Structure 1
Amino acid sequence: MKKKYVVVGVGGRARFFYEAIVRDFQETSKLVGFCDVNQTRMDYANSVLEERLDYHKVNTYKANEFEVMIEKEKPDVVIVTSIDRTHHNYIIRAMELGCDVITEKPMTIDEEKCQAILDAVERTGRKLRVTFNYRYAPHNTKIKELIMNDAIGDVISVHFEWLLNTEHGADYFRRWHRDKRNSGGLLVHKSTHHFDLVNFWLGTTPDTVFAMGDLSFYGRENAEKRGVEQFYSRSHGSEIAKNDPFGLDMASNPYMKAMYLDAEKEDGYFRDQSVFGDGISIEDTMGLLVKYKNKAIMTYSLNTFLPWEGYNIAFNGTKGRMEVKIVEMSYVNSGGDVSLEGALQESSIIVYPMFDAPYKVDFEQEEGGHGGGDPILLRDIFAEPEDDIYNRAASHIDGALSIMTGIAGNKSLRTGMPVRVDDLVRFK
């Protein structure tokens, strides 16, 4: 029998899910409803279904009609892709109303909301899944396989450097993510991917986190140092923005025009704010030191204004070292084909055994976003499930453990002190 799905929050990331359901998985899945604060955006989503995917329109519901939607559509699963600070509301209420939930990362943004979700899963017995597509990227799965097969012994330390470039990285400072109250900052919104990978690769959980970071590149306070002499609040309608490499022309992009520019009249949300404007409360430069329950340590850095997009990782183990370099395709969120967001451009995995010659590790690459992980994740979610020796499907516990590294990091930024994860949230 087909599972029925509804989607809450129909911005850019929602397209990834609803397009896949109606394009590739109609044998197992049925899309029955949209819910959002903005009717224009839901109407656009329905136009995508009708005009591009030859599917019928689905019923739409405003955010205050969420419970009405559940009662009328009777979905099996609610897909939550709304603004991060609202995830917990929809996750908890959906489970209380008898639905399972699939949520976009991050699961939520702070320890109180995280605890409320954990308690709701325990109370209702419903299933909650977090969509960590990077676990499914073939190169990341290969890293897991190598560590599982003892290629470098027990991993004692990890150095993890993630680079966001001036196209993708800057985009977080134009939109709602720039307000930490919405996103938890990039240590939660973006780094949840990275912290989950380390938990997944090492088979362990975070214990203690110490963090440092600042707004060092973007923001009004850094504009003069970046050579910015004229200011604008947003790109649309600004002559200054036309010559700014950090400006965003939504009017010339059909996706952004339909989803955001045409929808502004309803909620006043500006998707194209200046990255050197006021109102930015997140960091653009971050470094963490993490100790795990298995005694491994990690040094981690995230920078958001670099010349290329991707990451470098070094694993130091009791039998050798593994070095990984990944270069991804840069993108502006919701600016085009979602299947190409973060697509792999270059990769290298090299193992250095302690007493033998180094060797390069090959893997079968899959096309698609997030290093080829997106299509594999979608099959795992919406097709008939298959056995997976790597256990890539992420539960609510995985979702909580990934964000708690960033949430502990945020507390460390505020206090200047190391923070123990077990002091923030209770896992039953």
Structure 2
Amino acid sequence: MSNAPEAGYKPIGGRIAIVGTGSRAAMFVRGIVQRTASSGARVVALCEPNIVRAGYYNGLLESLGAETVPVYPPDGFETMLVKENIETVVVTCVDALHDLYIVPALEAGVRVLTEKPMTTDANKCRRILETVQRTGNHLTVTFNYRYNPIHELVKRTIAEGKIGKVLSVHFEWLLDTVHGADYFRRWHRQKVNSGGLMVHKSGHHFDLVNWWINAQPEVVAGMGKLAFYGEENGRESGWRRDYDRARGSTAAKGDPYAIDLEGDPTLKRIYADAEGEDGYYRDQNVFSPDIGIEDDMSVMVRYNTGATMTYHLTAYSPWEGYRVMFNGSEGRLELEVVESEYRLPADVEGMDGLIHGNSSLPHAGGASVTLHRLWQKPESLPVVVDHGSHGGGDSRMLSVLFGPLPGEQHDEGDAAKQGATERDGALALAVGLMANESFKTGQFVAIDSLGLDLS
């Protein structure tokens, strides 16, 4: 299976449907509407089971000067493709449901963009890859972190051979007690929905490393645990309060781990006002007894180039950011990004923009990329720091996909030249799936065990 060619790539125009209208869909809706005049791209339909949530997005379209669009239920997806003459589908629904829309869209010859992760288990991944192979139609996985200028700087520095052959990588990711905790309040807290943080969140990072060092994962070993969140841990630490969800609970008042849906206008309209339609609670207790994902994970990966990676994700840190170190045959490259130096309980207010990367985290810190060549003084490489929009990745990705905004130049960055396809999505997913399996068995897990055709 080969990657879709990027040569002669043209921005996406035409008739677009959005599948899933949670918070993440807003980035695509805004980005498309802002470029309609220049690219011709238009949102013409929504596919969403919750009519209240879909209504919010029709209101958003109106506020942006666009027309409202018809809303189709999930079982009307294929009808929508035909009736609305859909040319592109953007999939932003619950991770475990992505394949239900990707596969029929590819079969219909419709272009597909999907949020990462591409899907959540090996069977669904195989189904997608087999459909690509059978139809010859490819999809784009929107790994927005590739488009972050600092990450592109790392890619260029390594590709130019400035540290020689990459021999090993260490990647530490820290999610704080607002952003990290949020995965334990919502549907992500069950692996059947999200694949856990190894799939939903770490797919960002595993794709970055695959891309940075131009390598494929072969073998993974890991240990993961629920160390901080969950009922037992909350009782032991003293953080637990006795409530199921924060809305309407006196016990949740003053709890720094609770969010107030009514306190954020967007969260209120998308989730609180929509509860009567589907019973989904967006503000569950992070110290509940029924959490099924890990919050502390250590992973080792071996790549086909011989390089190895050690990776650690902590979802309960006092600060948020990441450190990545590349050790090469001719030197070392170090990346550090401090997205938030610390958190205060008041930072939980205004959650929507913060947790989905629409705005910078409070108390943002700095970023640095340092090149250490053998037998030379270290060199601080120039960086442009943008803590909003996933380090500037979202806006640059939208400009690559749908064309530049008025006054912008066409983006010719590294990620624009090497967009992520289904193969990239599968390789990032594979690391998370192998890690999850290793958590269960305590054994090393080889990528061949997943039965994915990645040739």
TM-based fold match above 0.5: yes
Equivalents in 2 of 1:246, 1:62: separation in Å?
34
Say if 1:13 and 1:334, in contact at 8 Å, map to a contact too: no
Equivalents in 1 of 2:206, 2:145: separation in Å?
11
1:68-90 per-residue CA deviation (whole Å, 9 max, x = no partner) reads: 11111111111000000100111
Instruction: Decide whether aligned partners of structure 1 residues 339 and 247 sit closer, same or farther in structure 2, where only a CA change above 3 A counts.
Output: closer
Equivalents in 1 of 2:14, 2:426: separation in Å?
26
Between stretches 364-373 and 71-80, larger displacement belongs to: 364-373
Match of residue 440 from structure 2: 414
Q: Residue 123 of structure 1: CA displacement? A: 1.1
1:290-318 per-residue CA deviation (whole Å, 9 max, x = no partner) reads: 00000000000000000111101111100
Match of residue 227 from structure 1: 238
Q: 1:379 aligns with which of 361, 381, 399?
A: 399
Equivalents in 2 of 1:295, 1:229: separation in Å?
45
Q: Residue 27 of structure 1: CA displacement? A: 2.2
Match of residue 427 from structure 1: 454
Pairing 1:335–2:352 present:
yes
1:81-107 per-residue CA deviation (whole Å, 9 max, x = no partner) reads: 000010011100111122110000000
- Report the AA paired with residue 371 of structure 1: G
Equivalents in 1 of 2:186, 2:240: separation in Å?
22
Match of residue 288 from structure 2: 277
Match of residue 119 from structure 2: 108
Equivalents in 1 of 2:201, 2:240: separation in Å?
30
Match of residue 302 from structure 1: 313
Within-5 A mapping of 1:26-37: 26-28=37-39, 29-37=41-49
Match of residue 419 from structure 2: 393
Instruction: Decide whether aligned partners of structure 1 residues 264 and 243 sit closer, same or farther in structure 2, where only a CA change above 3 A counts.
Output: same
Q: Which runs of 5+ in 1 are unaligned?
A: none
Instruction: Decide whether aligned partners of structure 1 residues 10 and 82 sit closer, same or farther in structure 2, where only a CA change above 3 A counts.
Output: same
Q: Residue 367 of structure 1: CA displacement? A: 7.0
Match of residue 253 from structure 1: 264
Say if 2:368 and 2:383, in contact at 8 Å, map to a contact too: no
Please, what TM-score do these two structures have when normalized by structure 1? Answer: 0.96
- Report the AA paired with residue 340 of structure 1: N
Equivalents in 2 of 1:37, 1:237: separation in Å?
25
Equivalents in 1 of 2:373, 2:200: separation in Å?
35
Q: 1:369 aligns with which of 370, 374, 389?
A: 389
Q: Residue 341 of structure 1: CA displacement? A: 4.4
Q: Residue 164 of structure 1: CA displacement? A: 0.1
Equivalents in 2 of 1:395, 1:141: separation in Å?
18
1:104-147 per-residue CA deviation (whole Å, 9 max, x = no partner) reads: 00000011111110001111122200001111101100000100
Match of residue 316 from structure 1: 327
Equivalents in 2 of 1:406, 1:157: separation in Å?
19
Please, what TM-score do these two structures have when normalized by structure 2? Answer: 0.90
Between stretches 386-395 and 38-47, larger displacement belongs to: 386-395
Equivalents in 2 of 1:88, 1:342: separation in Å?
32
Equivalents in 1 of 2:107, 2:153: separation in Å?
38
Q: Residue 387 of structure 1: CA displacement? A: 5.0
Match of residue 326 from structure 1: 337
C-alpha RMSD of the superposition: 1.8
Q: 1:347 aligns with which of 345, 349, 367?
A: 367
SS in 2 for 1:352: strand
Pairing 1:238–2:255 present:
no
Instruction: Decide whether aligned partners of structure 1 residues 248 and 334 sit closer, same or farther in structure 2, where only a CA change above 3 A counts.
Output: closer
- Report the AA paired with residue 301 of structure 1: H
Between stretches 33-42 and 368-377, larger displacement belongs to: 368-377
1:31-60 per-residue CA deviation (whole Å, 9 max, x = no partner) reads: 110001101000000011112x12110111
Q: Residue 3 of structure 1: CA displacement? A: 1.8
Q: 1:41 aligns with which of 39, 47, 53?
A: 53
Equivalents in 1 of 2:246, 2:199: separation in Å?
27
- Report the AA paired with residue 217 of structure 1: F
1:358-396 per-residue CA deviation (whole Å, 9 max, x = no partner) reads: 110003445741111111100011017765555341111
Q: Residue 340 of structure 1: CA displacement? A: 3.1
Pairing 1:129–2:147 present:
no
1:403-425 per-residue CA deviation (whole Å, 9 max, x = no partner) reads: 10000111111111000112212
Equivalents in 1 of 2:276, 2:223: separation in Å?
39
Pairing 1:206–2:212 present:
no
Equivalents in 2 of 1:214, 1:25: separation in Å?
46
1:269-326 per-residue CA deviation (whole Å, 9 max, x = no partner) reads: 0000000012100000000000000000000000000011110111110011111110
Equivalents in 1 of 2:427, 2:449: separation in Å?
13
SS in 1 for 2:152: helix
Within-5 A mapping of 1:83-98: 83-98=94-109
Identity %: 44
Instruction: Decide whether aligned partners of structure 1 residues 315 and 184 sit closer, same or farther in structure 2, where only a CA change above 3 A counts.
Output: same
Q: Residue 226 of structure 1: CA displacement? A: 1.8
Q: How many residues align?
A: 427
Match of residue 5 from structure 1: 16
Match of residue 165 from structure 2: 154
Q: Residue 30 of structure 1: CA displacement? A: 1.1
SS in 2 for 1:140: helix
SS in 2 for 1:340: coil
Once superposed, which parts of structure 1, at least 4 consecutive aligned residues long, lie more than 6 Å away? Answer: 330-334
1:190-245 per-residue CA deviation (whole Å, 9 max, x = no partner) reads: 00000000001000010000010100100012121120464100000011111110
Instruction: Decide whether aligned partners of structure 1 residues 149 and 61 sit closer, same or farther in structure 2, where only a CA change above 3 A counts.
Output: same
Say if 1:2 and 1:27, in contact at 8 Å, map to a contact too: no
SS in 1 for 2:93: coil
SS in 1 for 2:104: helix
SS in 1 for 2:325: strand
Q: Which runs of 5+ in 2 are unaligned?
A: 1-11, 405-409
SS in 1 for 2:24: helix
